[in-house]
Structure 1
Amino acid sequence: MSIAERPAPLVELTLAMQTLQRRDPGPAFVPWRERVARRLPAQGKPLLQLVSPSGAGPMFLDPPSRTVEEGLDRVRSAPRAEVRAELRRVCAIDRPLTSWTKGLARQDREAWRVLDEAIRTGYRTVLAERWHSLRAGFDAETAWRAKILARQGIHALFASLGPAVRWNGLTLEADCPRDLDLTLHGHGIIVRPTLLWSGHPLVAYYPDRPTTLLYPALTPLPLLNPERPADPLAGLLGATRARALRSLVGGRTTTGLARELSVSVASASLHTKTLREAGLIVSHRDGKAVCHRCTPLGLDLLAAETV
Structure 2
Amino acid sequence: MLRIHFTAGDLVRTRVADNPDPLWESVLSLHQLQERQSDPVMVRWQRHVISNGRAPLRLLLPLVPARGYFPDFLTPAESAEGFEAGLDALLSTPRTQLCGQVAQLAQDKPLDAWARSVAEGRSPVLHRLGDALRAYRHHALGGIWQRIRARIEADRAWRSRTQCFGGTDAMLRTFGPGLRWRPPVLEADYPVETDMRLEGRGLLLIPSYFCHRAPVALADPSLPPTLVYPARAVVPGPTPPPPSGGPRLARLLGHTRAAVLESLDGECTTSELARRVGVSVSSASEHAAVLRNAGLVSSNRLRNSVHHSLTPVGFALLGAGVREPGV
What TM-score do the two structures reach when normalised by structure 1?
0.71
Give the direction of change, closer, same or farther, for the CA distance of 1:206–1:300 in structure 2 (3 Å limit): farther
User: Per the alignment, in what secondary structure is the counterpart of residue 54 of structure 1?
Assistant: coil
CA distance in structure 2 between the partners assigned to 1:296 and 1:160 by the alignment? 22
In the other structure, the counterpart of 1:280 is: 297
Give yes or no for the alignment of 1:122 onto 2:139.
Answer: no
CA distance in structure 1 between the partners assigned to 2:32 and 2:70 by the alignment? 12
Q: How many residues align?
A: 250
1:216 Cα offset (Å): 0.8
Gaps of 5+ in 1: 221-228, 243-270, 282-292, 302-307
1:85 Cα offset (Å): 1.3
CA distance in structure 2 between the partners assigned to 1:27 and 1:177 by the alignment? 27
1:299 Cα offset (Å): 11
CA distance in structure 2 between the partners assigned to 1:177 and 1:299 by the alignment? 41
Question: Greater CA radius of gyration, 1 or 2?
Answer: 2
Give yes or no for the alignment of 1:97 onto 2:111.
Answer: yes
The one-letter code of the counterpart of 2:71 is: P
In the other structure, the counterpart of 2:157 is: 143
In the other structure, the counterpart of 2:86 is: 71
C-alpha offsets along residues 181-205 of structure 1, whole Å, 9 cap, x if unaligned?
1111211101111011211111125
1:44 Cα offset (Å): 3.8
Give the direction of change, closer, same or farther, for the CA distance of 1:172–1:277 in structure 2 (3 Å limit): same
Give the direction of change, closer, same or farther, for the CA distance of 1:37–1:299 in structure 2 (3 Å limit): farther
Give the direction of change, closer, same or farther, for the CA distance of 1:300–1:107 in structure 2 (3 Å limit): farther
1:159 Cα offset (Å): 2.3
Q: Percent identical across equivalent pairs?
A: 29
CA distance in structure 2 between the partners assigned to 1:52 and 1:299 by the alignment? 47
Aligned partners of 2:189 and 2:214 also within 8 Å: yes
C-alpha offsets along residues 15-36 of structure 1, whole Å, 9 cap, x if unaligned?
1111111246877634432332
Aligned partners of 1:195 and 1:217 also within 8 Å: yes
CA distance in structure 1 between the partners assigned to 2:139 and 2:188 by the alignment? 32
In the other structure, the counterpart of 2:302 is: none
In the other structure, the counterpart of 1:189 is: 203
CA distance in structure 2 between the partners assigned to 1:8 and 1:37 by the alignment? 22
Structure 1 window deviating more from structure 2 (109-118 vs 189-198): it is 109-118
CA distance in structure 1 between the partners assigned to 2:111 and 2:173 by the alignment? 40
Give yes or no for the alignment of 1:50 onto 2:50.
Answer: no
CA distance in structure 2 between the partners assigned to 1:87 and 1:114 by the alignment? 16
User: Per the alignment, in what secondary structure is the counterpart of residue 49 of structure 1?
Assistant: coil
Gaps of 5+ in 2: 1-13, 235-267, 274-280, 299-309, 319-327
Give the root-mean-square deviation of aligned CA atoms.
3.2
Aligned partners of 2:75 and 2:90 also within 8 Å: yes
Give the direction of change, closer, same or farther, for the CA distance of 1:159–1:34 in structure 2 (3 Å limit): farther
Aligned partners of 2:74 and 2:90 also within 8 Å: yes
Alignment of 1:228-247 (within 5 A): 231-232=270-271, 236-237=284-285
CA distance in structure 2 between the partners assigned to 1:296 and 1:34 by the alignment? 47
What TM-score do the two structures reach when normalised by structure 2?
0.67
The one-letter code of the counterpart of 2:104 is: R
In the other structure, the counterpart of 2:3 is: none
Aligned partners of 1:15 and 1:55 also within 8 Å: no
Aligned partners of 2:20 and 2:152 also within 8 Å: yes
Aligned partners of 1:204 and 1:213 also within 8 Å: yes
In the other structure, the counterpart of 1:266 is: none
Query: Of the candidates 226, 229, 241, which is equivalent to residue 215 of structure 1?
Result: 229
C-alpha offsets along residues 129-152 of structure 1, whole Å, 9 cap, x if unaligned?
222222122111111111222233
C-alpha offsets along residues 249-296 of structure 1, whole Å, 9 cap, x if unaligned?
xxxxxxxxxxxxxxxxxxxxxx9x973614236xxxxxxxxxxx9327
CA distance in structure 2 between the partners assigned to 1:58 and 1:205 by the alignment? 8
CA distance in structure 1 between the partners assigned to 2:24 and 2:97 by the alignment? 18
CA distance in structure 1 between the partners assigned to 2:315 and 2:270 by the alignment? 16
Aligned partners of 1:55 and 1:202 also within 8 Å: no
Aligned partners of 1:59 and 1:86 also within 8 Å: yes
Give the direction of change, closer, same or farther, for the CA distance of 1:205–1:27 in structure 2 (3 Å limit): farther
C-alpha offsets along residues 60-94 of structure 1, whole Å, 9 cap, x if unaligned?
01224222211110001112111111111122224
The structure, 1 or 2, with the larger RCO (C-alpha pairs under 8 Å, 6+ apart) is: 2
In the other structure, the counterpart of 1:5 is: 18
